[in-house]
Amino acid sequence: MWVRGVSAKERQVQSISRQYPPLGCNVMQDKPNARVVVSKGAGQILCGAPPEVIKHFRRGGGDMPEVVVLASEFYKRGQVQNEVSFIVASNFFMGGHKKTAIIGTAEQIARARIILEEEFFGPKENVPEQTRREMEHFRFYAKLNKYLTLDDMVEFVVLSEGREINFKGCTIKSFGNGQYRFVEGKMLGEVDTQALASPILCPPTFHEFNFRLPRFGLTFFGTSSGFDALNRTTSLMLWVDGQGLFIDPLDMPQIEMVKLGIDPNKVKTVFLTHCHADHDVGVLDMVLNQGATLITSSLVYQSFLTRAVAYTGEGIDSLRSRIHFIPAEPGMEIDFNGAKLEISSAFHAVPTIRFVARYAGKTIAYSGDTLFDPAQFEVLQSTGVLTMDRRRELEGFVYNSKANLFAHEAYIVPLHTSDLVLQALPYEIRKNMRIVHTGTRSPGVTIPLARAGETFRLAA
């Protein structure tokens, strides 16, 4: 239904950006691509977990579901259906170390475990020693004084087709084919996870919006974190001579491009920094369904393939044959449509790459997800986590920057950078900086936040 007094252009945007109401108290609640069953004993039971569903719960102000029933299909019509990592992380790290119960068949549980292991702890094979030390550093959880395992955060519950279980007083019966009944003294509801539908693609509107392609520039699709209820998750587009390099595309990437009036035919290449769900969920659709080329490091590609096999159920050799992969290893310089991209490795919980792009005498730098803290680097060198060369590399990415535009992340330490550390940088470095991966700034921080939908044009 169209809203009176809204222009045709605005109506197009509304039809594809779908606003969802805050959570109510009904027994059955519709969510985007998901359903919620409300139980007294088990609380909210989420059926299906599309990307960013966590934002809807956080926006509503209610409790985060601690129980997820997996949708029958992990990947459907270009969209991931079972992205549970942010619910798990929210319950554990922000909810007092609560475990998330994940319910599904034995085969579904095995796939979910693979996805989550890769998400939280990274790849296990072909990992360079320096990278392995860094991953182990982030895996140690000081609050519990231990190296975390997935079983610290998740309770996996097998529910075979045709069987039923009693979970915290709620009887959950599986009829097979993704169909479930929920009873707690009375019928709470039935859910058919096969019926969960992806948003409908709207007609292209880029001719109406008439987006002017930069010769060299950067567009911010989203600028915040996967936990931010009010802002879109960080995703960028590097423009070089009329062609776009989509960096960590958001879920439903074609819709996101159309919303800004960008012709998807101008974007045939993806740059993947790392395999966390707030960065890689849109990549599957781009490379498998849109035929986009994938640029990333071999280590990140290894993680991506592992997760892609678990999401799609497709064999790894079949996936490799369908993906045009261009390696971008740390220390390499690669070409994108005439621009030179210098690739380096960020300091994060899983292998992560970033770049400095040079074209037409201008420079754009993107930090990727990273911890930048010179004082902490000094400590980590003394404990053997970082070598002197690695410390210099991490510090040099920032201190040696002469970028005309520097998109640097900031979020919760120790996985991310404190914006106060960025504020303490010399003015010559931070004057061209924009903060991403957060929707707020600490008091006293004057570095501007990047704005979603904003485009910087560095070369006419």
Task: State the chain's mean pLDDT as an integer.
Answer: 89
Give Dmax over CA atoms of the chain in angstroms.
Answer: 70
Contacts of 120 (CB under 8 A, 6+ apart): 85, 89, 148, 150, 153, 349
Which tens digit of pLDDT belongs to each residue from 300-356?
999 999 999 999 999 999 999 999 999 999 999 999 999 999 999 999 999 999 999
Lowest mean pLDDT of 125-134, 282-291, 438-447, name the range: 282-291
Given a cut of 60, is residue 19 above it in pLDDT?
no
DSSP for 179-200, please give it: EEEEEESEEEEEEEGGG--PPP
Token pair 């129980």: residue: 67
pTM: 0.91
Q: Go through the domains of the chain in sequence order and give each one's CATH number.
A: 17-195 (no CATH), 206-459 (3.60.15.10)
Helix (H, G, I), strand (E, B) or coil at 168: coil
Rounded CA separation 277/112 (Å): 13
The backbone torsions φ and ψ at residue 267, rounded to the nearest 5 degrees and listed phi first, read -130, 100
Backbone angles phi, psi at 276, to 5 degrees: -110, 150
Read off the tokens for 132: 């392995």
Is the pLDDT at 69 greater than 70? The verdict is yes
Helix (H) or strand (E) holding 153: helix 150-153
Q: How confident is the model at residue 433 (pLDDT cuts 50, 70, 90)?
A: very high
Instruction: Tell me the mean pLDDT in the region 64-82.
Output: 93
- 449 φ, ψ (degrees, to nearest 5): -75, 140
pLDDT for 7 equals 28
pLDDT of residue 258: 87
Percent of the chain with pLDDT over 70: 90
- The answer, yes or no, to whether residue 200 has pLDDT greater than 70, is no
pLDDT tens, position by position, 413-429: 999 999 999 999 999 99
Residue 451 scores a pLDDT above 60: yes
Look at residue 29 in the predicted model and tell me its pLDDT.
43
- The confidence score (pLDDT) of residue 4 equals 23
Q: Which helix (H) or strand (E) holds 407?
A: strand 405-409
163 near 157, Cβ under 8 Å? no
pLDDT at residue 78, as a whole number:
83
Buried b (16+ CB within 10 A) or exposed e, 370-388: bbbbeebbeebeeeebbee
pLDDT per position as a tens digit, 349-382: 999 999 999 999 999 999 999 999 999 999 999 9
Integer Cα distance of 193 and 213 in angstroms: 41
pLDDT at 203 over 60: no
Q: How many helices (H) and strands (E) does the chain have?
A: 16, 27
Give Cα separations from 64 to 44, 91, 100 (angstroms). Answer: 8, 7, 10
Cβ-contact 397, 355 below 8 angstroms: no
Block residue for tokens 């094979």: 125
**Is pLDDT above 70 for 28?**
no
Do residues 256 and 244 touch, judged by C-beta distance below 8 A? no
141-188: pLDDT as tens digits: 999 999 999 999 999 999 999 999 999 999 999 999 999 999 999 999
What is the SS3 assignment for 37?
Answer: strand
What is the average pLDDT across 11-21? 26
Residue 62 has pLDDT above 90, yes or no: no
Q: Where are the alpha helices (DSSP H) in 183-251?
A: 206-209
Per-residue CA distances from 200 to 77, 268, 277, 345 (Å): 10, 22, 22, 37
368 vs 354: CA distance, rounded Å: 5
pLDDT score at 13: 21
376 DSSP assignment = H
CA distances from 16 to 115, 199, 201, 204, 410 (A): 28, 8, 7, 11, 29
Question: Could you give the C-alpha distances from 304 to 277, 280, 361, in angstroms and in order?
Answer: 10, 8, 34
How high is the pLDDT of residue 255?
A: 86
Integer Cα distance of 444 and 439 in angstroms? 15
* Confidence at 199, pLDDT banded by 50, 70, 90: low
Residue 11 pLDDT greater than 60, yes or no: no
287 pLDDT band, cuts 50/70/90, is: very high
Does 22 score more than 80 pLDDT? no
- 182 contacts: CB under 8 Å, gap ≥ 6: 37, 39, 45, 170, 171, 172, 173, 188, 189, 190, 191
